[in-house]
Amino acid sequence: MTRENRQRARGFGRRGEWAALILLVLKGYRILARNYSAPGGEIDLIVCRGQAIAFVEVKARPEIEAARTAISEQKRRRVARAARAWLSQNRWANGYNLRVDAVFVSPRRLPEHLSAAFDLELI
C-alpha cells in the first residue's frame, strides 16, 4: 500500500468515526472518549446513555457488508484490553451496564449502529 493510499484510508476512517459520533449523539449518547488508546488495545469511541456505557468499534468500508464482517477476534481482544484499562482509570463506571457496540459506515448510506455487537470479556 502506498503512502497516498494509506493517507486516503486514514481519512476515510476518520470521516467514518465522525459519522458514527454524530449518529450516537443524535441517539442521545454522551461522548466520554474518542480514540482511547491503552497498551495492547484501542477503542474508537466510549459513550454513555442512561446506565449504559458502550465501547464502540467503528468500521468504515466501501461496502456495508465488508464493514459488518470486519471485526476480527483479535480486534475483539484488543477492545477488551483497552476497556479494562479505561475502567481501571474510571472507577466511577463500575456500576454501569457495560457493552461493546459497533457502528458500520459506508459511502452513500446512513451509518448502522449495532448495540451489544459482541461480548465484552473483562476477565
Instruction: Return the pLDDT at 102.
Output: 96
Q: What is the CATH number of the domain that holds 107?
A: 3.40.1350.10
> Looking at residue 6, what is its pLDDT?
79
Instruction: Give the integer Cα–Cα distance in Å for 30 and 25.
Output: 6
120, 99 in Cβ contact below 8 A? Answer: yes
Q: What total number of domains does the chain contain?
A: 1
Is residue 123 included in any domain, yes or no?
no
**Residue 14 domain flag:** yes
Q: Give the global pTM.
A: 0.89
Please tell me what DSSP assigns to residue 31: E
List, edge to edge, every strand of the sheet that includes 41-49: 30-38, 41-49, 52-60, 97-105, 112-118
Task: State the pLDDT at residue 34.
Answer: 96
pLDDT at 121: 82
Residue 52 lies in a domain: yes
Full residue range of the structural domain in which residue 81 is found: 3-118
Q: Is residue 65 part of a domain?
A: yes
Per-residue pLDDT of the chain (123 residues; tens, 9 = 90+): 788 877 877 777 788 899 999 999 999 999 999 999 999 899 999 999 999 999 999 999 998 888 888 888 999 999 999 999 999 999 999 899 999 999 999 998 899 999 999 888 877
